[in-house]
Amino acid sequence: MRILITGGGGFLGNAVANALVARGDTAVAFDTHFSLDGAPESDHHIRLGGDITDMAALAQVVRKHRPEVVIHCAAIVGVLSSIGSPINIVRINVEGSINVFEAMRLGDIKRCIHISSEEAYGEFRSHRMDESHPLEPVLPYGICKATVEQLGRTYRDLHGLEVINLRTSWVYGPGLPRDRIPRNMVLAALEGRALHIAHGAQSAIDHTYVDDWVTAVLAALDHAEHRYDVYNVSSGHSCTVKELAEIVTELVPGAEISVGPGMYRHGNQIELVRKGALDISRADAELGWKPRFDIRSGLAAYIKALREAKTQN
Ligand SMILES: NC(=O)c1ccc[n+]([C@@H]2O[C@H](COP(=O)([O-])OP(=O)(O)OC[C@H]3O[C@@H](n4cnc5c(N)ncnc54)[C@H](O)[C@@H]3O)[C@@H](O)[C@H]2O)c1
């Protein structure tokens, strides 16, 4: 298959592009990042600089490279960035997604795997929740994700597109580029730095290891007939920030990580809504997908990968 991956230069887009190439598919990665990098290309992993807000550029890529499906990862990511510049996030995450759907319509591409987020749910109403939970996003990032999901349904009804939404929890693992609790803890532990997270002991979060996220995308991509257009993707279990600190301390003896009371705050400012675990039984029943990593084995794999990368450098 030839697959267009928007945001294919990012943490998740690059991980899935590598997995597709490894199994013999051709990944056409499209990302603003590449125009700066001038990244090298191979026959099966094409890297193109471009912006999803540029409809002409997207249409040209589709015309030239003839992808059969799209994995839509390009976005401004994160709750804090969305608060800092709501106009920008709407322009890129919503307007850019409409361009992606339009380019698909014009290029006669039917299926899109859209990487949505658990942020589309807003505050969790129970400790574990499935895909029927109401969408009540509270911040621009989640609002944009819910909007794009709904726009995908409009394109389904009007133009026959099939937009499959993967509501993904927080992903961690090698390559994670930004401030995230598991990354901050693991890096501090490996570098022998003490880390105190001022708030968060009570915030329960479901984290997904990057390899599991990749297999979920491939399962959704390969599934012949979807009965649903939305699946939760996560480990299926939550752990509190305090528990996370305890696991990292066990895995890296001597680590000094402490967590203050209450709910976690993004950037120490914006209190996290109440979260919990995502029910992933639909992805299991429909796609035959199960995560391989729980939080302990995922953190152990992450630590191992970082140690190996350090010895190679
Ligand atoms: N990482 C997570 O924990 C997580 C969880 C849920 C959902 N998601 C979603 O998964 C997708 C990928 O996230 P990620 O963690 O890889 O983030 P990332 O920031 O590493 O990757 C996003 C990529 O999109 C590119 N991009 C941004 N604006 C663009 C534009 N206008 N045109 C083309 N490319 C553009 C960026 O350059 C970047 O390489 C996003 O849609 C994100 O919302 C991520």
Below-70 pLDDT ranges, the chain: 36-40
Same domain, 118 and 21: yes
How close is the Cα of 5 to the center of ligand 1, in Å? 11
Q: Is the CB of 217 under 6 A from ligand 1?
A: no
With respect to residue 28, please indicate whether it lies within any of the assigned structural domains: yes
With respect to residue 163, please indicate whether it lies within any of the assigned structural domains: yes
Same domain, 118 and 182: no
Same domain, 198 and 67: no
CATH of the domain at 94: 3.40.50.720
Give pLDDT, residue 38: 52
Give the model confidence (pLDDT) of 87-99 as tens digits. Answer: 999 999 999 999 9
Give pLDDT, residue 313: 73
Number of domains in the chain: 2
In testing the pocket of ligand 1, which one of 30, 52, 73, 143 has its CB within 8 Å of the most ligand atoms? 73
Same domain, 159 and 268: no
CATH of the domain at 263: 3.90.25.10
Q: Is the CB of 168 under 6 A from ligand 1?
A: yes
Same domain, 81 and 54: yes
Same domain, 70 and 195: no
Structural domain that includes position 152: 2-171+208-233
Distance CA 310, CA 303 (A): 11
With respect to residue 130, please indicate whether it lies within any of the assigned structural domains: yes
Same domain, 103 and 243: no
With respect to residue 271, please indicate whether it lies within any of the assigned structural domains: yes
Q: Is the CB of 71 under 6 A from ligand 1?
A: no
Q: Centre a 10 Å sphere on the Cβ of residue 201 and count the other Cβ atoms it contains.
A: 17
Same domain, 123 and 189: no
Q: Is the CB of 88 under 6 A from ligand 1?
A: no
Backbone phi and psi for residue 124, each to the nearest 5 degrees, phi listed first: -70, 135
How close is the Cα of 203 to the center of ligand 1, in Å? 24
For ligand 1, what atom is nearest to the CA of residue 177? 20
With respect to residue 284, please indicate whether it lies within any of the assigned structural domains: no
Q: Is the CB of 96 under 6 A from ligand 1?
A: yes
Same domain, 221 and 101: yes
Same domain, 77 and 215: yes
Same domain, 94 and 129: yes
**The model's pTM:** 0.97
| Closest residue to atom 1 of ligand 1, CA basis | 171
Q: Is the CB of 180 under 6 A from ligand 1?
A: no
Give pLDDT, residue 312: 82
With respect to residue 260, please indicate whether it lies within any of the assigned structural domains: yes
Give the model confidence (pLDDT) of 223-245 as tens digits. Answer: 999 999 999 999 999 999 999 99
Same domain, 89 and 228: yes
With respect to residue 16, please indicate whether it lies within any of the assigned structural domains: yes
How close is the Cα of 73 to the center of ligand 1, in Å? 5
How close is the Cα of 169 to the center of ligand 1, in Å? 14
Give pLDDT, residue 109: 98
